[in-house]
Amino acid sequence: MGALIGIDIGTTGTRALAINERGEVVAAASAAYPLHLPHPGWAEQDPEDWWRATRSAIRSLTARLTEPVAAIGLTGQMHGAVFLDEQDRVIRPAILWNDQRTARQCEAIEHRVGSDRLRQIAGNPALTGFQAPKILWLREQEPENYRRLRRVLLPKDFVRLHLTGTYATDTSDAAGTLLLDLARRDWSDELLATLELEREMFPSVFEGPMSTGTILPRVADELQLPRGIVVAAGAGDNAAAAIAAGIISSDRMSVSIGTSGVLFVHSDDLRYDPLGRVHAFCHCVPGAYHLMAVTLSAGGSLRWWRDLLGESDYTPLADEAAALPPGAEGLLFLPYLTGERTPHADPYVRGAFIGLTARHTRAHLTRAVMEGVAFSLRDGYECLRAVSVSSIADVRATGGGARHPLWRQILADILGIPIRALAIDEGAAYGAALLAGVASGIYASVEEACSLVRMQDDVTLPDPERHERYGELFTLYRSLYEPLRSVSWKLAGVA
Q: Would you please indicate which residues are annotated as catalytic (active-site) residues?
A: 237
SS3 content of the chain, % helix, strand, coil (to 5): 40, 25, 40
Query: Parallel, antiparallel, or unpaired for β 261-267 and 279-282?
Result: unpaired
Query: Parallel, antiparallel, or unpaired for β 211-214 and 230-236?
Result: antiparallel
CA dihedral 288, 291, 296, 300 (to 10 degrees): -60
Residues 332, 365: Cα–Cα separation, whole Å: 8
Query: Comparing C-alpha atoms, which of 100, 101, 196 is closest to residue 142?
Result: 101
Half-sphere exposure of 340 (CA within 13 A, CB side): 27
Beta strands in 3-90 (DSSP E): 3-9, 13-19, 25-32, 44-45, 69-76, 82-84
SS3 category, 116: helix
Query: Comparing C-alpha atoms, which of 273, 307, 276 is closest to residue 110?
Result: 276
Residues 443, 457: Cα–Cα separation, whole Å: 26
Phi, psi of 152 (to 5 degrees): -125, 125
Eight-state DSSP code of residue 201: G
Beta strands in 258-336 (DSSP E): 261-267, 279-282, 289-295, 332-334
Write the CA distances from 414 to 311, 378, 390, 471, integer angstroms.
27, 7, 20, 7
